[in-house]
Amino acid sequence: MATPPRSPLAPARFPDIPAIGGVRSATAAAGVRYRGRDDVLLVELAPGTHAAGVLTRSATATAEVQWCRRALRNGGATGARALVVNAGNANAFTGPHGEAAVAVVVRDAAALVGCPETSVFRAATGVIGERLPADRITGVLASLHDGLRPGNWDAAARAIMTTDTFPKGAVRTTTIDGAPVTVAGIAKGSGMIAPDMATMLAFVFTDAGIAADALQAMLKQAVARSFNSITVDSDTSTSDTLLLFATGAAGHAAVTDAADPRAEAFRTALQAVCTDLAQQVVRDGEGASKFVTVQVTGAADDAAAKRIALSIANSPLVKTAVAGADANWGRIVMAVGKSGERVDRDRLAIRIGGVAVAAAGDVVPGYDEAPVARHMQGQEISIEVDIGLGSGGWVVWTCDLTHGYIDINASYRS
Segments of 275-337 assigned E as strands: 291-299
Which x/- pattern over 295-314 shows residues binding its own copies (rule: CB under 8 A)?
-------------------x
Among 180, 361, 371, 378, binds its own copies (CB under 8 A): 361
CB of 160 to its own copies, least distance (A): 19
CB of 23 to its own copies, least distance (A): 32
Among 3, 178, 261, 411, binds its own copies (CB under 8 A): 411
60 counts as binding its own copies under rule CB under 8 A: yes
Burial class (CB in 10 A: 0-12, 13-18, 19+), 411: exposed
Q: Which residues pair with 172 in a beta bridge?
A: 183
97 counts as binding its own copies under rule CB under 8 A: yes
Question: Which letter does DSSP use for residue 231 in this model?
Answer: -
**Orientation of helix 302-314 relative to helix 316-323, angle to 10°:** 60
Burial class (CB in 10 A: 0-12, 13-18, 19+), 362: exposed
**DSSP element (H, E) containing 273:** helix 264-283
339 counts as binding its own copies under rule CB under 8 A: yes
C-alpha span between 327 and 369 (Å, rounded):
8
Burial 76-110 (b: 16+ CB within 10 A, else e): beebbbbbbbbbbbbbbebeeebeebbeebbebbb
374 counts as binding its own copies under rule CB under 8 A: no
Binding segment toward its own copies, per CB under 8 A, in 101-109, 128-136, 146-154, 209-217? 128-136
199 is catalytic: yes
| 195 neighbors 237 (Cβ within 8 angstroms) | yes
138-157: contacts with its own copies (CB under 8 A): none
Which residue among the candidates 27, 165, 199, 398 is catalytic per the annotation?
A: 199
356 counts as binding its own copies under rule CB under 8 A: no
CB of 379 to its own copies, least distance (A): 16
Which x/- pattern over 229-258 shows residues binding its own copies (rule: CB under 8 A)?
----xxxxxx--------------------
Kind of pairing, strands 120-128 and 82-92? parallel
CB of 303 to its own copies, least distance (A): 16
Q: How many residues bind its own copies (CB under 8 A)?
A: 67
C-alpha span between 214 and 208 (Å, rounded):
12
Kind of pairing, strands 168-176 and 179-194? antiparallel
Among 95, 114, 150, 180, binds its own copies (CB under 8 A): 95
Binding segment toward its own copies, per CB under 8 A, in 35-43, 114-122, 163-171, 194-202? 194-202
CB of 373 to its own copies, least distance (A): 11
Question: Based on CB atoms, which residue is closest to its own copies, 250 or 323?
Answer: 323
Radius of gyration of the chain (CA): 22
Task: Say whether 32 sits in a helix, a strand or coil.
Answer: coil
402 counts as binding its own copies under rule CB under 8 A: yes
Among 321, 383, 385, 399, binds its own copies (CB under 8 A): 321
Question: Which letter does DSSP use for residue 43 in this model?
Answer: E
CB of 317 to its own copies, least distance (A): 5
Question: Based on CB atoms, which residue is closest to its own copies, 170 or 294?
Answer: 294
| 405 neighbors 286 (Cβ within 8 angstroms) | yes
**DSSP element (H, E) containing 205:** strand 198-206
Among 100, 179, 334, 389, binds its own copies (CB under 8 A): 334
Other CB atoms within 10 A of residue 204 CB: 23
Q: Which residues are catalytic?
A: 199
Would you tell me which residues interact with its own copies (CB under 8 A)?
A: 58-61, 90, 92-97, 127-130, 194-196, 233-238, 314-317, 320-321, 323-324, 326, 328-331, 333-343, 345-346, 348, 358, 360-363, 401-403, 405-406, 409-414
